[in-house]
Structure 1
Amino acid sequence: MTERGEKQVSRNSSEFVIGPSSLQWDGNKLTIQILERAVPFGQKIAGTVELYPNSLFNFSTPLDAAGKHRWGPLAPSARVKVNLNSPDLKWEGNAYLDSNEGDEPISQSFHEWDWSRAEMSGGRTSVIYDVREKNAQENILALTFNPNGTIDHFEPPPRQALPKTIWGIQGHMRNQNSESLRVQKILENTPFYTRSVLNSELLGEKVLSFHETLSVPKLTLATTQFMLPWRMPRVTW
């Protein structure tokens, strides 16, 4: 990812342009055109990602008590096709697309959060957002998005601790018991953020959950801020 300045970003009703890359919606699918450089060696990343929603949701809810940060899935269940020519990489599978927006930096409101998504039987998708704010207030969202466009709220299971990462991040997962919870694969492991695939249990089903933990205190550390531009360059002109 590359952070880009205002002059390199534009959008209209069907297209969002970010530097040399873009997102285009044709009413049926979202096409992401990628033309970027990787860090730290500048190797080329180019190709397309196509996302086909199984259903679309016009849903948004606050993540914090003040309502300054909002989240909502656009396509809780979808299909994705990845076709990169640099590097040569092609695959397709199940997908998910959501939206986050805020009126202030996340460091102003949050201490940490755990988020998870699981594909359930019957084409349903369940999401748990377990948020801890800086003022120690907790906000827990436990929602199931159904293929017919309805949304069900459910009582989240107890919070279970996950193994600490090498960076000392203590993640948590809402699961009925610790015995049925297992980290299957770690996808990202950074000083302030981790993303994993978990074997878990939800609403009486054994499921595969995608899970993330964000630690805001670790994000705002001076050492982390020093390292960020090496992973995510910033182009302001």
Structure 2
Amino acid sequence: MPANGYAWWYVDGLSDDGSRAISVIGFIGSVFSPWYAWSGRKRPANHVCINVATYGPGGRFTMTDRGESALRQSRDCLTVGPSSMRWQGDRLVIDVNEIGAPPMVSRVRGRITVTPTALTQVELPLTPDGSHIWRPFGPTADIEVDLETRGWQWRGHGYFDANFGTRALEQDFSFWTWGRYPARGGSTCFYDAMRLDGTGLATAVHFDADGGAQVIDAAPKARMRRSLWAVARETRADPGYQPRQIKPMLDAPFYCRSAVRTCLDGEETVGVHEALDLRRFRAALLKPILAVRVPRRAQWQFED
């Protein structure tokens, strides 16, 4: 992987009753780590992480930036220190053993299993030169969460994708929103972005349960209330429908993830939405704040 490069594998899930949610991201070249930025992004493999966040009663956030000694890779498995993501048959199995960030310092340990209804063959360049790529592996999936915490055993609908890049996000983008919503026997994803060169990206894809993908006409953009940190937000919705956040998830000065209800082709649906303000992320003063939530652990030794 080149300097400034990154790869991340992303999973999210919402419980069937809507009370809980989870997200997991495996990073090589941890794009939101201040330590990777301060290093000059010369060695992506020296800044790796499996970020786990749980949302709901007793929710925790974990994101430890680890050194190269913590990384093990194979075709089917990514291991970062005490946690791993591995492909096993028709499902992605994630074993986590992390420590929550301040102020809720406690262990987050257990297993998350994601079973896509099918795998897609979609690969979408986010920039004309292909320096950033979105790969939605399993946009329609079932998820089972089994953590060693009371109440954190549940099932729901999930999602699995990846992003790959050869440059820092803030080198090419100023802002983006993304959303994935269960819809019409599968799921619909929206990717909207503004690039620094003034061009934009507006992509809408519907995935059926068999992994087939079809580019569709996007519903109109609809603004939402700003996040707690005043990050601008918008998603897609039928004309006249006002989408709204129904569950807060992650709220940061430059980023917001939440469960959102919208309406697509007359069908109300609840999915996961994110808004990312990379103009804010470029601010030097933000990095020391992030370092409090993203500790650095450079050394790791596997037992075997």
Question: Normalization by structure 2: what TM-score?
Answer: 0.73
Tell me, yes or no, if structure 1 residue 94 matches structure 2 residue 157.
yes
The 5 Å alignment of 1:60-209 reads 60-86=123-149, 89-122=152-185, 124-209=186-271
Conservation of the 8 A alpha-carbon contact between 2:97 and 2:107: yes
Letter in 2 for 1:53: P
Instruction: Tell me the number of residue pairs that the alignment of Structure 1 and Structure 2 aligns.
Output: 236
2:11 corresponds in structure 1 to none
Cα distance change on mapping 1:192 and 1:46 into 2, 3 Å: same
Instruction: Tell me by how many angstroms 1:165 deviates.
Output: 2.2
Instruction: Tell me by how many angstroms 1:86 deviates.
Output: 4.6
Tell me the alpha carbon deviations over residues 49-104 of structure 1, each in whole angstroms, 9 at most, x when there is no partner: 11111111132111122210101211111111111115662111111000011111
Letter in 2 for 1:111: S
Cα distance change on mapping 1:147 and 1:229 into 2, 3 Å: same
1:51 corresponds in structure 2 to 114
Q: How far apart are the structure 1 equivalents of 2:65 and 2:113?
A: 22
Cα distance change on mapping 1:103 and 1:174 into 2, 3 Å: same
1:221 corresponds in structure 2 to 283
Gaps of 5+ in 2: 1-62, 300-304
Identity among equivalent pairs (%) = 28
Runs of 4+ residues over 4 Å off in structure 1: none
Q: Which moved more, 1:10-19 or 1:202-211?
A: 202-211
Q: Which moved more, 1:20-29 or 1:138-147?
A: 20-29
Cα distance change on mapping 1:26 and 1:185 into 2, 3 Å: closer
Question: Normalization by structure 1: what TM-score?
Answer: 0.93
Cα distance change on mapping 1:164 and 1:10 into 2, 3 Å: same
Q: How far apart are the structure 2 equivalents of 1:135 and 1:78?
A: 35
Instruction: Tell me by how many angstroms 1:17 deviates.
Output: 0.7
Instruction: Tell me by how many angstroms 1:19 deviates.
Output: 0.8
Q: How far apart are the structure 2 equivalents of 1:77 and 1:160?
A: 24
Q: How far apart are the structure 1 equivalents of 2:284 and 2:150?
A: 33
Tell me the alpha carbon deviations over residues 83-141 of structure 1, each in whole angstroms, 9 at most, x when there is no partner: 1115662111111000011111101000000101110122x110000011011210111
Conservation of the 8 A alpha-carbon contact between 2:143 and 2:157: yes
Instruction: Tell me by how many angstroms 1:206 deviates.
Output: 2.1
Cα RMSD after superposing both structures: 1.7
Conservation of the 8 A alpha-carbon contact between 1:44 and 1:86: no
Q: How far apart are the structure 2 equivalents of 1:192 and 1:91?
A: 30
Letter in 1 for 2:139: P
